[in-house]
Structure 1
Amino acid sequence: MRVTCSSGTYIRAIARDLGEALGVGGHLTALRRTRIGPFTVAQAQTIENLDPARDVLTPAEVAAHLFTVANLDAQQSADLRNGKKIPFDGPSKSTIAAIDPEGSLIGLFEVRGCCARARELSARRAGRKRRLMIFWFSYIQIAVALLAGLFCVISGFAGRTPNDFTLGSTALVEVLLVVQFVVALIAPAVGNPPHGDVLTFYVYMISALLLPAAGVFWALIDRSKWSTVVLGVTCLAIAVMVFRMNEIWLTQNV
């Protein structure tokens, strides 16, 4: 018998159910897949005759069989890879396969209105709320670090030595970093792994954790206005580092 079905259909279960319906029992003696999507068994090669350079399709070639293809220039390719929208004329809500000037597949994108943007696949939708934790919390960290940095720098140039307010604002930046560190350790286990280089992310994270502690230690030793300025510069540096960590976590390396 021949069956045309979608992904996830258990043909062995059909044989079992047919046997039960006939009252005789049933099972498969052979099962052969003859087609998947637009690709048929006639296009396949045996292991013995397989030539990878000749027979294996590239991701771009596979995408061309399944989706509308858009050949992009270098600037459009860079914009899409960095998560930006680009102007695109096509049917609304259609899915396109974006190909760069070298013929490589960038990814699947969805047309909305006059623009194209990265398509949210089901796996991404499932983890979207968890991913947003890193996103919005990082921007809270950045805002706090910027405010603390400006406060300390202005206080230092105003001649104020380290006090409870400047030390406390720097300590708050450190506390938020510790929370982010704990979140980063737990997030992959709940379906929110970093999209960029893990080692780079943790190099930034460990460095960021050490900076406020070093700044506060120095301020306690050298009670001068310049120590207050150092606290401010430290917090401003943390803001930049957290922004970079957020990019590493959320942006896929290409």
Structure 2
Amino acid sequence: MGSLAPLLPGTVALVGGGPGDPGLMTVAGRAAVEQADVLLVDHLAPAEALAWASPDALVVDVAKLPRGAFTPQERINELLVEHARAGRRVVRLKGGDGFVFGRGMEELLACTEADVPVRVVPGVTSSVAVPALGGIPVTHRGLVQGFSVISGHVPPGHPASTLDYAALARSGTTLVVLMGVATLPDITATLVENGLDPTTPAAVIARGGHPDQRVVHAPVIEIAARAAHLAPPAITVIGEVASFAALSAVSAATADVVSHTLEEVI
């Protein structure tokens, strides 16, 4: 079934909403939202995209907020199946891409095990898009030949962590840390303890893709302290490419000065 084919009654579409700006959603994602009878929406999904939905559509908030509102994944799976079995066209809308730390495969399996037709509509993953929106490429010719995307939801040494920080520290690739605001001091300290140069450039991009996006850049040994005032959602980039954040900051400042000057002239 093509991603732009009509969404049939009794079908679930797992839609990635991209990094925050509704303009960065895919055409197929918008088409699914427009056809939905029911939308199960995460807090990181672009809220403005709901304006595309039918006024008769049921919108269900299934947020998982850190230390806040929480809808168990098992209940989300049940809702997808229940609404589809009732003959509704169901859209599961979340931020970024649902298959990058988004539990999208869990939802797909829940639907297939219940014999509910399910369609995947990939989204622009925030792990690449948010750095780009902050002026940072995750790769750059002659500088770095790869990147690693890791979850920082638990700190190094935690029983639930499966990451080899020693290997990451010496990988020579860009490190992109998602869900790592609270654990950033532990993550950066562990990387340095395992051999990462403490002067390695780093940057934190908060609220990427939103009008209030903020970018903080500093050497990796300092980045946690410099970015301590930023709140989730935020993504950290560690590696030589993060030095481009400084260039972007200068460009943004220059553009702001030019804008104000033009306003004064006009």
Query: In which range does the TM-score fall when normalised by the shorter chain?
Result: under 0.3
Structure number with higher helix proportion = 1
Q: Give the TM-score of the pair, scaled to structure 1.
A: 0.27
Structure number with higher strand proportion = 2
Larger radius of gyration: 1
